[in-house]
Amino acid sequence: MIGISKIPSTKPFRLFAFGFGVILALIIVIQIALQHSYDQTVDPALINKSGRQRMISQRVTKLTLYLQQGIKPDVADFSVTDSLLKYTSVLEDVHAALLQQNLKEVKSKKIDSLLRLADPFVFTLANGSRALIGQSKGPAMDSIISEIADAEVHLLALMEQVTKQFERKSVEELNLVRRTDQVFSIALGVAIIFLFVILFFPVLRRLEKQNKVLREVRDSLSRQKILMRTIIDNIPINIYAKDKNSRKTLANKQEWTYTGAKSEAEVLGRNDFDLFPGASAEVSVAEDQEVLNGNPIIERETFNFKTDGTERWFLVSKVPLREEGGTITGLVGVSIDITERKRISTKLESALKEAHDLYDNAPCGYHTVDGDGIITRMNATELRWLGYKSEEVVNKLHVKDLLTPRGLILRERIMERIKQERHVDNIEVEFIRKDGSIMDVILNTAAVFDEDGKVNRNRSTVYDNTESKRLQNEILSANEKLTQLNVEKNSFMAMATHDLKNPLNSISGLTTLLKMEPGLSQDGQDLADMIEKSSTRMRDLITRLLDYNRIDQGKTEANPKEMNLLELLSRRIDSFREQSKQKNIKLQLSTKVSKEGAQLVSDPELLDQVFDNLISNALKFSKSGTAVDVRLRHSGNHFVVEVADQGQGIRAEEMPKLFLPFTKLSNKPTGNETSSGLGMSIVKQLLELLGGSISAESEVGKGTTFRVAIKSMAD
């Protein structure tokens, strides 16, 4: 884009005008000189020759008249004939020269003589005539008069002939001179014009280029003006200019629409008191005076009330306008509406205050440590815990100053982990309070790395672990006691079950013998049956307690061997045929697995105990007329055995308790059976020992399905 500094100077135009004027003046002077030379080439005597001829003719005629009338001339003794002859001789010489085209000789010699003789001849003739008048008339006088008359005729004829020839030659010579001068003038003009073109053509070229540049500059300035005005009017910032009296001299669209005006013309020439409420106008005019005194205002926050009373915040900048001499003539102002930013800033300040408050008064400690281990920040909570003030810690204490010897060793390990994992969590550390006491804390630390991968700083969260540590110690103490009690319990159970098992065996045997007595009454038989059933239940309970105790103590070990799962299930189902018939429950096995495909390596005794518990449990909680299905299938590399009943179902809230030891659910056995609350817990622990798992699905009123997953222990 062409700048204003490239506008060409008008000096070449003035030089061109001056040169052209000089050339015109020179041509005019030459023409005047040539015209003067034309006038000098014609002798005034020749120009007036016709007048002289008339004068001579008149004088001769008059002399003749005097002689005829007897008038006596004033001059006597004058020879008229001699004078006439001399004059006639001169005229003849001139005539001869003219005939010979010797105009130069005529002009230089003869014509001068002719002219010198003309007047004297006339005077002589006049004097002679007067002298002759005094003489007596006679033949002599008549002869003289006749001679004079002839001389007059001859003289006039000769002068007329000379004059005509001389005029013709003079005109030809004059025309020739004039043509020559015209050719010279034209040639001189052409030469001058050619010289002018040669000298001034580069100037004209430069002037043309400069004129082109000037036009481009003007066009550019016009476009720039339009562009600048478009930008000013469409930029979302209030832009305005004022004179020394704070009257607006310019206002962009954003400015005049803010005032409520419909056009810029409505605000021009008006001050802020004409456009805004008084309080706002006073503030603005005071700012104007400050700027007009030579003190610019840069990004000052100020408020302004609109005519409708709405308060707006602006970021105002005003600078003085100066003339070339530095005199301030007004100002230019820019106002950015920051009301929304102010609102957000206020909210942000409130949020920051809240964040600082949360940081300082959080229920945990926060601190930041730089790469050298210096504590650069610590919140009020942690300072209160440690008994310090901020100025005693921040940028003064090293983190090592807060650690016990054990904590210092732990810190080295933590720093190594941080370099690899970038953070560490839930590290138990001991801090030293200002009074020297020990504070147990849980530390979570995250590292911040610089561009070179070095730890720039660590940010840590600290939780007071004193109470947790106390509770933990109490729990550890309680666990130790529980462990001891568990040992004692296991010893007691082992002893009790062993000691109870023998009497129960005796009771069972004696009951069998009692029932075999031939004279036993029916009441006695019933009592014996009751004793047998009770002893059987007791024996089963003792057996389960022994099994659970062995499993809980880790004394139960798996003894895997080659076995057939289908055969094991068939045997166990057959063992419950009588019980299922008594309760009118259909017990059946369904599978698509062949006998050969049911081979696996596992502990058959433990698996038999698992399915014994599951089938027994299904029959125990099923009603008469229902069915218990045992289903065997393959699933990937393991077997799935499902034991599904159509019993009462288990409520959803009780499902999490299903496999807990010594837990009885709300369901009751349907045939007056008893439940120890250990069966499902034993099943779960046995399957885990064998590498299997168990899950259950149940719906109240529709039944429960236990799903057992078993895989070969050889895998």
Q: Which long-range contacts (CB under 8 A, 24 or more apart) does 72-75 make?
A: 72/130, 72/131, 72/133, 72/134, 73/126, 73/127, 73/128, 73/129, 73/130, 73/131, 73/132, 73/133, 74/126, 74/127, 74/130, 75/123, 75/124, 75/126, 75/127, 75/128, 75/130, 75/131
Cβ within 8 Å of residue 583, ≥6 positions away: 619, 622, 624, 670, 671
Cβ within 8 Å of residue 84, ≥6 positions away: 121, 125, 147, 148, 151, 155
How many distinct helices (H) and strands (E) make up the chain? 20, 17
d(CA 177, CA 175): 5
Which of these, 47, 58, 252, 290, lies nearest to 166 by C-alpha position?
47
- Report which of residues 508 and 444 the model is more confident about: 444
In 235-277, where does DSSP find H-type helix?
A: 253-258, 272-275
Q: Mean pLDDT in the chain? A: 76
Which residue has tokens 């805004």? 276
The pLDDT confidence band at residue 101, using thresholds 50, 70 and 90, is: very low
Structure tokens belonging to residue 165: 């020839």
Out of 50-54, 308-312, 380-384, pick the least confident.
50-54
Strands 703-710 and 586-591: what pairing?
Answer: unpaired
Out of 38-47, 293-302, 303-312, 438-447, pick the least confident.
38-47
Q: What SS3 class is residue 30?
A: helix
- Report which of residues 154 and 276 the model is more confident about: 276
Task: Express the helix, strand and coil content of the chain in percent, nearest 5 each.
Answer: 60, 20, 20
Q: Please give the DSSP secondary-structure letter assigned to residue 70.
A: T
Residue 440 pairs with which residues in a beta bridge? 430
32-36, 381-385, 634-638, 675-679, range with greatest mean pLDDT: 381-385
Q: Using one digit for the tens of pLDDT, what is the confidence trace for 180-215?
A: 666 666 777 667 766 666 666 677 777 788 888 888
| Cα 161 → chain centroid | 109
**Does the structure show a pLDDT above 90 at 629?**
yes
The predicted model scores a pTM of: 0.36
Residue 232's pLDDT is what? 82
**Does the structure show a pLDDT above 90 at 376?**
yes
Q: Please give the DSSP secondary-structure letter assigned to residue 107.
A: I
Out of 208-217, 402-411, 510-519, pick the least confident.
510-519
Residue 75's pLDDT is what? 39
Q: Which domains does the chain have, with CATH numbers?
A: 41-208 (no CATH), 235-345 (3.30.450.20), 362-464 (3.30.450.20), 471-545 (no CATH), 558-710 (3.30.565.10)
Q: What is the DSSP code string of 392-408?
A: HHTTT-BGGGGB-HHHH
Distances (CA, A) of 162 to 85, 96, 120: 16, 9, 20
Q: Please give the DSSP secondary-structure letter assigned to residue 106.
A: I
Out of 170-179, 430-439, 505-514, pick the least confident.
170-179
Query: SS3 letters for 497-539?
Result: HHHHHHHHHHHHHHHHHHHHCCCCCHHHHHHHHHHHHHHHHHH
